[in-house]
Structure 1
Amino acid sequence: MKKPWFQAILALLAIASLSAHAVKPVDADIDAAFDDAVARYDLPGLAVGVVRDGEIVYLRTAGELAVGSGNEITPETLFKIASNSKAMTAALLARLVDAGKLKWDDPVIKHLPGFRMYDPWVTREIQVRDLLIHNSGMGAGAGDLMLWPSPNAFTRDDVIAGLAHLKPVYSFRSRYAYDNTLYIVAGEVAAAVGGAPYEELVRREIFEPLALTRCQVGEWRRDEVGNVAQPHSQRDGRNVVAGGDGDVIEAIPMAAAGGIRCSLNDMLTWAKMWLTPDRFGLVDGKPWLSQAQRDAVWSAQMTMPLSKRMRDWDGSHYSAYGYGWRLADVDGTQKVSHTGTLSGMYSALTLLPEKNIGFVILINADADEARTVLNQTLVKHFTAPAQKRTLAYYAQRIAAEDKDETAARPVPDTSLRIAASSTAMQQWLGVYRDPWFGEVSICPKQDAVHFTSAKSPMLAGKVMQLDDRFLVDWDAESVDTEPWLAFVAAGKNQPAAMTMAKIDPDADFSYDYEDLHFSRVRGCP
């Protein structure tokens, strides 16, 4: 028999052989999914953590802050959590409800008298709760071009003022359509009743009492904070930093919708607070959030479409949106979750409250499929372990789905495009204005015609021609969704007009070109 001291030494050696950023117990199935995700999708960086019964039972990171930097990702590395910020904004409002400063059914104009929607009736009727549940009647992603691509010159006031010009495509409260802009309004409601800017309230009401020590919002300095993951995209088959940070990370208008950054450890602390409130949801011995408000944010507020994938993969029977959370059932158990998507940064937070399990995925790459299959593999690991579903299994299922969808909705072939000449576009040259997006110019420049946005400098590029149609080839490689341009000739007392539409109809809805309606206001300089 081995001596006890010898067994102890062997145990210590085993622990030392693990990744520097992994903790016991290591789950072999999760490890396999982690490794496969990194290899299959060539991820520059990945961070995954799991909590069960209030304890971290899995913690692992891989990759670099920026490829080639030599700076490793750790559990303290900051990632953009993107739309996982929405749950924090909703929790901030819930805290204000607990404090008696706000009611969920308060009219928005009670707290923001100057707020306007396109329809005056909706302006009067829209309540604080409506700001959080995607039922406004606007199309998906309406107004997002004031937020992305960034940096741009739109202010928070610009975004809120722009809502008055965004024409709805559905009846108010009739259906779900995801939006970001109304979360910005929600942040300003919080600021109005909380007596401090949104960013200050988040630090005071969420970060500090819950000890989310690395989370950042508003303006901060990259090198003072340190250990900050950078976004990446794939170019010529390799990962490169795209849209990386400068020394100063500036405050941005969309903080309440998706502008918070946190580390893996922070997000696991946040998960534990929701899953085990009697241990991790107490501040000075008192509940950080009342049970009534915990119930409210996790209650179905707006029905969401139940997709074929949810039925086939998870046996789901319902799908709904709460206050900043998506709600569904998976294999007979409750799932509370959200994802976050920004160019070059993807996140996922999934909670299984009935099992007291939660997990976090953070990736510093454009990694939609990687996040989907890894998240799904982890969900099934806990809800249906006997199925032994691997990451490869779900990758293959998505490949089959994509093949069917591509056949059904092919992307138009624009490979025969040529640069549009100023002669061909003579009738349409000029400066155009949209009520919420502002001015763009369609003007000659260096023997070509260029589209240039006054307030969104990333939206600049060469106008191209394909047969009798025009499109824009964006200069910035990080802007990957090209638009068609359509023109209408001037009429009696009507200036020439221009509209835009995505060439790829299935591209990210945040490129909401279809919401733009330009009128020509003057000729080219």
Structure 2
Amino acid sequence: MLLAAPAFADDQSASLRARLDPVIDRAIADKRIVGTVILVARDGELVYARAAGQADREAGRAEKEDDIFRFASVTKPFVTAAAMRLVEEGRITLDDPVSKWLPDFHPTFDGKPATILVRHLLNHTAGLEYGFFQSPGGSYAKAGVSDGLDLTDISLDENLKRLASVPLASEPGKTFRYSLAIDVLGSVIEKATGKTLDKAVDELVVAPLSITGAGFSTKPSERLTAAYFDGSPEPKRMEGSIAVPIGEGQLMFSPDRILDAKQFPSGGAGMAGTAKDVLTFLETIRKGGSPILSGETVTTMMQDQTGPEAQTQGPGWGFGYGWAVLVDPEAAGTPQSKGTIQWGGAYGHNWFVDPVEKITVVAMTNTTFEGMWGQFTHDVRDAVYGKR
């Protein structure tokens, strides 16, 4: 539960607003983002909340704090927490071979059978990839693998069958490669619980936290933000299914996917919800995990599992279970404390939890990719720490 800031925190909130408001106003005026909802909590108190810009530019609809965003990879921590709860309950173990739960999932490495463990899925060392990291026409595209953001007529089982048909890019357990691992984990959760992933995540994570708006599908609503991607002179609206360039590859987006409950539940990208939903979850993690996880489990999840050489968010960043972990703030060039956890989502989101300063920041936007890793994210971070 988050509390409104008491009187003694008013000065702190006013100071934060004086730093953060101009950052938001400038990003909107410069047409780098279309709309955003930003929440900041410190020591369990909500010290900043603002909705700004437009949820739907063409309709002239202003952003509101309770608007619904497509999560993309903000989904991953929720699904990871569901898996870790099953670990706590003894229903799965970190060292279970994935094939124990998915007997038909048998990828190879270097021409030989490879053993992927549950822990390899959690920290993205399974040797899997994302199709958008490959050049168009790469091995995943040829196999018809979905990255989980596009409209498709295949099932989760079929997508994993296609995924397993492609040789692994690295030996399991050896190298960090951000990937479809959490989609595979979602299938493990389904088999371990006997329930669809959406129902399992709801029962294990969402419902116990009294989160009512987050899920793997939603109905058409004015609360659902439109989706945009970086463009000049202003962000462009996503219509239908669209391939957005990312590095040497391209990421296929279908914003209407979230409206189709028949789409397979992507454990890595399939949820939607509000900024408050995300803040509630992250504050639960920051405070030790109750009522969904034990403090010991949360500590494990927040420990670096890969080493900073993984550079999961650039120099100085490793990876735990569900998120990047800051190992070396100096190398990262960030005011965040060592042990900070952070991640984002391709639809334009960024969040972090600083356990030392007891700060949780959720910055949801409707603009790909500026809201995920653009200058806006750095400016928000620096404003929170008083560096701007």
TM over 0.5: yes
Deviation string 1:1-21 (CA, Å, 9 cap, x unpaired) is xxxxxxxxxx9xxx9xxxxxx
Amino acid at match of 1:339: G
Instruction: Decide which of 253, 256, 263 is 1:252's aligned counterpart.
Output: 263
SS at match of 2:201: helix
Q: Distance in 2 between matches of 1:255 and 1:227?
A: 22
1:271 aligns with 2:269: no
Cα contact 2:36–2:364 (8 A) shared by 1 = yes
Cα contact 2:56–2:226 (8 A) shared by 1 = yes
Query: Matches of residues 101-250 of structure 1 in structure 2 within 5 Å?
Result: 101-119=91-109, 125-139=115-129, 141=131, 143=140, 146-148=145-147, 150-180=150-180, 182-217=181-216, 219-223=217-221, 226-233=222-229, 237-243=233-239, 244-245=255-256, 248-250=259-261
Q: Distance in 1 between matches of 2:171 and 2:350?
A: 31
Amino acid at match of 2:123: I
Amino acid at match of 2:92: L
Deviation string 1:342-384 (CA, Å, 9 cap, x unpaired) is xxx211111101110010111112233774323223333455x
Cα contact 1:349–1:361 (8 A) shared by 2 = yes
Q: Distance in 2 between matches of 1:370 and 1:174?
A: 27
Q: Distance in 1 between matches of 2:37 and 2:145?
A: 30
Sort the Cα spacing of 1:195 and 1:120 in 2 relative to 1 into closer, same or farther, 3 A: farther
Residue 298 of structure 2 corresponds to 294
TM-score, structure 2 length as denominator? 0.80
Cα contact 2:205–2:292 (8 A) shared by 1 = no
Q: Distance in 2 between matches of 1:56 and 1:196?
A: 35
Residue 68 of structure 1 corresponds to 58
Sort the Cα spacing of 1:200 and 1:246 in 2 relative to 1 into closer, same or farther, 3 A: closer
Structure 1: where are the runs of 5+ without partners?
A: 1-10, 16-22, 312-317, 390-525
TM-score, structure 1 length as denominator? 0.60
SS at match of 1:228: coil
Cα contact 1:214–1:263 (8 A) shared by 2 = yes
1:99 aligns with 2:89: yes
Cα contact 1:146–1:154 (8 A) shared by 2 = no
Sort the Cα spacing of 1:163 and 1:365 in 2 relative to 1 into closer, same or farther, 3 A: same
Deviation string 1:449-500 (CA, Å, 9 cap, x unpaired) is xxxxxxxxxxxxxxxxxxxxxxxxxxxxxxxxxxxxxxxxxxxxxxxxxxxx
Return the offset for 1:36.
1.5
Cα contact 1:187–1:198 (8 A) shared by 2 = yes
Return the offset for 1:297.
1.3
Residue 364 of structure 1 corresponds to 366
SS at match of 1:265: helix
Query: Matches of residues 373-388 of structure 1 in structure 2 within 5 Å?
Result: 373-383=375-385, 385=386, 388=387
Q: Number of aligned pairs?
A: 346
Residue 309 of structure 2 corresponds to 305
Return the offset for 1:251.
4.1
Amino acid at match of 1:186: L
Q: Distance in 2 between matches of 1:256 and 1:247?
A: 13
Structure 2: where are the runs of 5+ without partners?
A: 1-6, 135-139, 240-254, 330-334
Q: Distance in 2 between matches of 1:263 and 1:87?
A: 15
SS at match of 1:255: coil
Residue 333 of structure 1 corresponds to 338
Sort the Cα spacing of 1:170 and 1:358 in 2 relative to 1 into closer, same or farther, 3 A: same
Return the offset for 1:249.
3.0
Return the offset for 1:276.
2.2
SS at match of 2:159: helix
Deviation string 1:21-59 (CA, Å, 9 cap, x unpaired) is xx8675211111111222223422111110100011111
Q: Which structure shows the higher strand fraction?
A: 1
Higher relative contact order (CA 8 A, sep 6+): 2
Q: Distance in 2 between matches of 1:324 and 1:197?
A: 20
SS at match of 2:21: helix
Cα contact 1:147–1:254 (8 A) shared by 2 = no
Q: Distance in 1 between matches of 2:58 and 2:169?
A: 46
Return the offset for 1:73.
1.6
Query: Matches of residues 342-357 of structure 1 in structure 2 within 5 Å?
Result: 345-357=347-359
Amino acid at match of 1:204: E
Q: Distance in 2 between matches of 1:128 and 1:375?
A: 31
